[in-house]
Chains A and B, each alone.
Chain A
Amino acid sequence: MKASSLLTQDPRTKKRNSAEKRFRGLGLTAIVIALAMLVWLLISIVTAGSPAFRQAFLTFPVLVDQTIVDKAGTRDPALLSAVTTLGYGKLLANSLRAEIAAKGIDLGDLKPKEIAQMISEESAATLRDLVLADPSLIGTTIPFTALASGRIDGFYKGRVTMETAALDKNTSPAQLILADRLLDADILSVKFNTGFVTMPDASDKRPEAAGLGIAVVGSFMMMLVVLLLSLPIGVAASIYLEEFAPKNRWTDLIEVNIANLAAVPSIVYGILGLAIFINFAGLPQSAPIVGGMVLTLMTLPRIIIPTRAALKAVPPSIRDAALGVGASKLQTVFHHVLPLAMPGILTGMIIGLAQALGESAPLLLIGMVAFVRDFPGGLFDPATALPVQVYSWTTRGDPGFVERASGAIIVLLIFLVVMNATAIYLRRKFERRW
């Protein structure tokens, strides 16, 4: 009789195997829960935000009526610019009514004023700029695409219904019925809205015209500042600390403090930036240069830590090999250690940048939440940032802005995905070299 057979499991093996099975089950459950959350998050953001990328437009010929925009008929720039957007709004409304009449569309019992209400106030401003830039347009008829008002736009995105319109002083069911007729007549169309990522922010009453343009430019400028400052400073500091600094109490202290700085809440860096860059150094508020420097302060420790870890992970035998053939310390680091640490450094760098991109708290403190209408010409001009734009849109009353805020989150996520993809690509590229 054999003491044990390989064909039957002894109790210890059985116990071990069931422990392993339990652990696997737990791991799988955790992953499934995490994935489900992620999918839920993505679905809710995409459903809430994707309408921001579509927009209702009204396309019709506009007669730039001289009797409204240039009563004197002198084309005198001073007189021309005295005509406000109200006058141009009238132009648009008249032309739209004329187009409706020409196409023989039934107006119902809508008054002229109510028809004018269907056009975004923003479009009057756009038309005004167009005419002031080229006065020869006066007296001619030009093709023009105007934004539909936020309520009409909302009707095609499910935000506005006949019931809510009946209670809303900014629109009426009759307007919505007319909008549907305009849609059939190809005057109204719902199209992809490039303006959402190119136009500046708009005032509280005009969600249909609000865009991310300045926030995108501002965020891009700040990322540039962060990259240009924190990559060289962070990598140089890490190399010095890891390869050159003597290992003593002072470097230990520095190491502990860097770890602490990485854990400091980001808003603290905003207070620091306000005190140093704006109050002390006198740099302008809301400027991407200040935002970039504040984010650099925040990002530096978060870059130094993974960079040092990447340097530490390079086997000491490689350093010995280089020193052994008579390379100097600097040559050893730059010819051998740094290339091997590069994938890790890049990953840390991009994660740091991604965190900086998504940061809003410190930027609020240095005034980047201001309402900015003009595109910044440089790093010292006022701008906003993507996450701050999300924040400020969610604080506004009109439901049109909530949709825009979700759309802005999608843009932010696309930026992050692109950055992470770059990190993965660079990682692969550097790893393949060996």
Chain B
Amino acid sequence: MKDMNMETRVLIQPNKIEARNVQVYYGDNHAIKDVDVDILDKTVTAFIGPSGCGKSTFLRCLNRMNDTIASCRVEGLIKIEGEDINDPRVDPVQLRAKVGMVFQKPNPFPKSIYDNVAYGPKIHGLTKNKAELDEVVESCLRRAALWGEVKDRLSAPGTSLSGGQQQRLCIARAIATSPEVLLMDEPCSALDPIATAQVEELIDDLRSQFSVVIVTHSMQQAARVSQRTAFFHLGYVVEYGETSQIFTNPKDPRTESYITGRIG
């Protein structure tokens, strides 16, 4: 695996997303506390931290998926390109077309593989005709490292694929709408090392166009694919900075004990 940490390039990227003083409550449960995070454009940002520390919750704030949970309340300021995403004038539907998401659990539509990928471009009117749509579907499946396995059965239901294949299908579906930010919640947790490598390659490739936020439990993966890393612990962002710095020279003792495997 080639070294993807290119600090010099990272430094010149502008902020894509700015989060300030974000609080998230599930009823009385204060799940995210005082989080300030800047996501840079054309950069891969990794969220790491022990289970239940709020990584998914924070990720879901970035495309307002938490709106769908009745008990969930989000406070604080989140801006994408300087625009407050919680402004009453913002339509979450438009936001989600811009900020795509791959969920922690693979959730393909119970439709054909083709329709899974084609759905986003169709509802957003991104393609003009069937041939163009076919092309988009093929290229997305190729980039998600799934094309070879499914090209002969595009009309088979997406739910008939294996868990890892389903997750790659969800990745293909997410990139088919060409989002500007891609949120990936443990995209590789169900994948074998080969598919993982392919997805990591895809993430690196996506970086040229989008900014990618990836939640992962694998330190190695965070170190391999990301330029910036945030360490979450009990709802706080304990440390956030250059990936190389976090892994080689953590400032906070909690970060150090987590990456060396002592808490988690």
What separation, in Å, do the CA atoms of A319 and B70 have in the docked complex?
A: 14
Determine whether the beta carbon of A327 is less than 8 Å from that of B123: yes
Known: A321-B170, A434-B159. A326 touches B123 (CB 8 A): yes
| Nearest CB of B to A434, in Å | 4
Determine whether the beta carbon of B107 is less than 8 Å from that of A317: yes
Interface 0/1 of B99-111, CB less than 8 Å to A: 0110101011111
Known: A247-B70, A317-B105, A434-B157. A325 touches B111 (CB 8 A): no
Which of B191-236 touch A at CB < 8 Å?
none
Interface majority SS (helix, strand, loop, mixed), chain A: helix
What separation, in Å, do the CA atoms of A316 and B104 have in the docked complex?
A: 13
Determine whether the beta carbon of A320 is less than 8 Å from that of B103: yes
Determine whether the beta carbon of A327 is less than 8 Å from that of B93: yes
| Nearest CB of A to B140, in Å | 12
- The residues of B that contact A336 with a CB separation of less than 8 Å are 109
What separation, in Å, do the CA atoms of A322 and B110 have in the docked complex?
A: 11
Which of B101-125 touch A at CB < 8 Å?
101, 103, 105, 107-111, 119-120, 123-124
Determine whether the beta carbon of B94 is less than 8 Å from that of A326: yes
Determine whether the beta carbon of A321 is less than 8 Å from that of B103: yes
Known: A326-B93, A326-B97, A335-B119. A321 touches B107 (CB 8 A): yes
| Nearest CB of B to A311, in Å | 15
A331 adjacent to chain B (CB < 8 Å): yes
Give the interface size bracket for B toward A.
Answer: 20 to 34
| Nearest CB of A to B202, in Å | 17
A105 adjacent to chain B (CB < 8 Å): no
Determine whether the beta carbon of A326 is less than 8 Å from that of B110: no
| Nearest CB of B to A250, in Å | 15
What separation, in Å, do the CA atoms of A328 and B91 have in the docked complex?
A: 9
Interface 0/1 of A313-356, CB less than 8 Å to B: 00111111111111111010001100010000000000000000
B90 adjacent to chain A (CB < 8 Å): no
Determine whether the beta carbon of A326 is less than 8 Å from that of B96: yes
B63 adjacent to chain A (CB < 8 Å): yes
| Nearest CB of B to A331, in Å | 6
| Nearest CB of A to B109, in Å | 6
Chain B residue nearest to A327 in the complex (CB): B123
Chain B residue nearest to A331 in the complex (CB): B123
| Nearest CB of A to B136, in Å | 13
B249 adjacent to chain A (CB < 8 Å): no
Determine whether the beta carbon of A324 is less than 8 Å from that of B157: no
Determine whether the beta carbon of A324 is less than 8 Å from that of B101: yes
| Nearest CB of B to A317, in Å | 4
What separation, in Å, do the CA atoms of A329 and B64 have in the docked complex?
A: 13
Known: A318-B109, A318-B110, A321-B170. A326 touches B120 (CB 8 A): yes
Residue in contact with A323 in the complex, picked from B68, B110, B159, CB distance below 8 Å = B68
Chain B residue nearest to A319 in the complex (CB): B68
Determine whether the beta carbon of B159 is less than 8 Å from that of A325: no
Which of B43-96 touch A at CB < 8 Å?
63, 65, 68, 70, 92-94, 96
Determine whether the beta carbon of B103 is less than 8 Å from that of A317: yes
- The residues of B that contact A317 with a CB separation of less than 8 Å are 103, 105, 107
- The residues of A that contact B174 with a CB separation of less than 8 Å are 324-325
What separation, in Å, do the CA atoms of A406 and B170 have in the docked complex?
A: 59
B42 adjacent to chain A (CB < 8 Å): no
| Nearest CB of B to A157, in Å | 56
B177 adjacent to chain A (CB < 8 Å): yes
- The residues of A that contact B65 with a CB separation of less than 8 Å are 320, 323-324
B168 adjacent to chain A (CB < 8 Å): no
What separation, in Å, do the CA atoms of A327 and B177 have in the docked complex?
A: 11
- The residues of A that contact B123 with a CB separation of less than 8 Å are 325-327, 331, 335
B143 adjacent to chain A (CB < 8 Å): no
| Nearest CB of B to A404, in Å | 50
Chain A residue nearest to B69 in the complex (CB): A316
Chain B residue nearest to A325 in the complex (CB): B120
What separation, in Å, do the CA atoms of A323 and B177 have in the docked complex?
A: 12
Interface 0/1 of A398-434, CB less than 8 Å to B: 0000000000000000000000000000000000001
Chain A residue nearest to B105 in the complex (CB): A317
Determine whether the beta carbon of B110 is less than 8 Å from that of A325: no
Chain B residue nearest to A317 in the complex (CB): B107
Determine whether the beta carbon of A323 is less than 8 Å from that of B96: yes
What separation, in Å, do the CA atoms of A318 and B158 have in the docked complex?
A: 12
Determine whether the beta carbon of A322 is less than 8 Å from that of B68: no
Determine whether the beta carbon of A321 is less than 8 Å from that of B124: no
What separation, in Å, do the CA atoms of A320 and B177 have in the docked complex?
A: 16
Nearest 8 A-B pairs (CB), nearest first? A326-B97, A317-B107, A325-B120, A434-B110, A324-B101, A326-B96, A321-B107, A328-B93
24 CB-based A-B contacts, threshold 8 Å: A315-B107, A316-B68, A317-B103, A318-B107, A319-B68, A321-B103, A321-B107, A321-B173, A323-B92, A324-B63, A324-B96, A324-B103, A324-B174, A325-B96, A325-B100, A326-B94, A326-B120, A326-B123, A327-B119, A328-B93, A335-B119, A434-B110, A434-B111, A434-B159
- Contacts beyond the supplied A325-B100, A326-B96: 9 A-B pairs with Cβ under 8 Å: A315-B107, A323-B65, A324-B65, A325-B97, A326-B97, A326-B177, A327-B119, A335-B123, A434-B111
